[in-house]
Amino acid sequence: MEIILIQDIEKLGYANDIVVVKNGYARNFLFPKKLAKPATESNRKVLAENIKQRAFKEDKIRNEAQAIATKLEDIIINIGTKSSETGKIFGSVNALQVADAIKTQLNVEVDRKKITIDGETIKELGEYTAKINLHKEVKVVIKLNVIAE
């Protein structure tokens, strides 16, 4: 029996794959647990349309991430913070402050959870780098300049 997998199943296939299994396995295990559905003509058309739409949406998201990446390339983000005379910062600079600085300086919205700073946090004045994962295929490294206010 041909079925369309709804979820990834180990040693059988990935979601949206059409596979051939024995009738009993499909009727008694996969269908009741909603892991698969029969590969009827109408289900195949729905699957083809879903794959086409998902590819279009994924391409749109990737293009938006690439556009943001081009804005962020070769830019130095200045972050002002209070510090002592020796250069130590009162507190630390984290991903939230980096996201706010990008928003104010470049008017680009970046989720703070996608920002990873080398060494987790910044505790002294100076130049640092941060990596932003905009998409699974689009990553940008930005330069941070932490200065005293």
- Output the DSSP codes for 73-128: TT-EEEEEE-B-TTSEEEEEE-HHHHHHHHHHHH-----GGGEEETTSSEEESEEE
| Cα distance between residue 98 and residue 77, in whole Å | 8
Give me the domains of the chain, ranges plus CATH numbers: 2-68 (3.40.5.10), 74-148 (3.10.430.100)
pLDDT of 26 reads: 95
Q: Token match 């080398």: residue?
A: 118
pLDDT of 75 reads: 87
Tell me the pTM.
0.64
Residue 13's SS3 state is: strand
pLDDT per position in the chain (149 positions), as tens? 999 999 988 889 888 899 999 999 999 999 999 999 999 999 999 999 999 988 889 899 999 999 989 988 888 999 988 888 888 888 888 889 999 999 999 888 888 888 998 877 788 888 999 999 888 788 999 999 998 88
pLDDT of 36 reads: 95
pLDDT of 149 reads: 81
pLDDT of 84 reads: 87
Would you state the torsion angle of the CA atoms of residues 96, 101, 104, 105, taken in this order, to the nearest 10 degrees? -150
| Cα distance between residue 14 and residue 26, in whole Å | 15
Six token digits for residue 38: 């029969």
| Cα distance between residue 144 and residue 124, in whole Å | 12
